[in-house]
Structure 1
């Protein structure tokens, strides 16, 4: 397999923005990420454009934003903080990443399906579909590591990781299809696809049906809703849980930064009455030359070395290895704009995260409420 690894921001800008149409996901990517179906992460061209436009319009809906804000706040106050208080009072050691994964999975299921799996409770139960989601993601990772002939043989013989993938895939699909059928039945009985009051749920399955009907006047299949759900689960769980885990670990090891954060939160609360994506792979369609001078032939895999980029002096300066949150803040106290092809946590170009402010908002709300 031919592939190129780059950490040059100019190359990334070229691939993700300037010559975007020449770098598709390709059939190999879609085969490896087979469980994602025809969702936005696996699609290209017109199919991708349609799904992106559809999901973006839903995320930007004012009623969805209100629903999401209330959802996260409720989960933090009723689930996350009680669990952390419980383990703290009893001096129980817990895996913080597991806590945040449970928190994020509950949130994304509520947001997309309108159903709370209650993964995050004091008992920290083992939830079958949440475990299946983990196994499915891990099995897809192994498809990247193992030679193609090996994992395809395992799939044919139904052994090893491929057997685990098949089992996990089935469990997750049963859960998702059950939630979708239940939600569609509720909507059918109520006769009002879109909630009429702000207190009613405005999950994405509910809104998606209405939106598709308005845009095309066609009936959407459960398979379409299933693929959309799985892709949004991938987008909304690990991104949040990993970011939160790293945030609290880094802050815990830098007390001076923690003091500054707490001080800012207290000031903000007083002023407002107490309110308050491992690897990126693209496949080339036609021959191309990167800004760095490297010639790229068709079907070449492009890998972005995000770890290296985050530690390069040529990108971030001589203090690139220091933990300095203030590097992101201007002298006026505003967030500094950094080109997305240098800091691609939310990807860049046409495939930029549909609503990074959505994920940032969930992060910020949880951090502030926990610090409170």
Structure 2
């Protein structure tokens, strides 16, 4: 009798261990998918690679590998600004021949500035070391798109400052949209250190008084540094809401709705049917009136998909791949959903 009880206890323990470690071994049983993705990131002031490490984590967690079978590494697998250990850097250009790639993901082209790279400060006056999308790079992206069957993905900031207007217009054409010139962000507290110094300096220069806001609010800035601050009196019951459209639900197989609290840009698609998700600003009537005065909508695209006979593109109107903190382990099924 005791032997039978012990046997069943042993079986239960084995089953418990299998269930406990199921996400781990299920990940190892999952087949790999080959994908040659070119990641472009010009905003790498240090070796944390925070602008594209979220993208690399997802690629590895979903078991995407290079065509040669190697897994993606944030420090190795990208073109752009590459800092070295001795506080020098190198620039990794776009490959001259891009035909072998299935897709290109432009994470960020804002660049690296002296305050971050040289002086190790996170804010202050902006003196560029390197950054902006260049004309020859734009030409390479067009050639890549025309090869047929390719995918282009980009997100904020890939075309705003410091990219020149001519290059920006070419980028917008490639992705089937138009930039209004405005960017913005919701802050849970306008008195926090999250609000950049340049926002406060611009506000004082524009309005002739100190930036003294407190509590939740939004900051909107255009390409000429014109600034609009919406404080708690201008807000409704929330901040910025990301919601899938009917086209997005059909493409993703379900509805998506969540709050978004980082930088976004306001764009116009060539065709409203291309919009897969939108942002909606939660505003009071006072706040809506302020946006009407400068010709901005309360709801605008968050994800735009553009398709031609030779390529498809996705533009994410936000800083989606930027992840400051990520789990050290990715070899687990379901961890992406939990996150």
TM-score category, normalised to shorter length: under 0.3
Give the number of the structure with larger relative contact order, counting CA–CA contacts within 8 Å between residues 6 or more apart: 1
Larger strand proportion of the pair? 2
The structure with more radius of gyration = 2
Structure-1-length-normalised TM-score = 0.24
Larger helix proportion of the pair? 1
Structure-2-length-normalised TM-score = 0.25
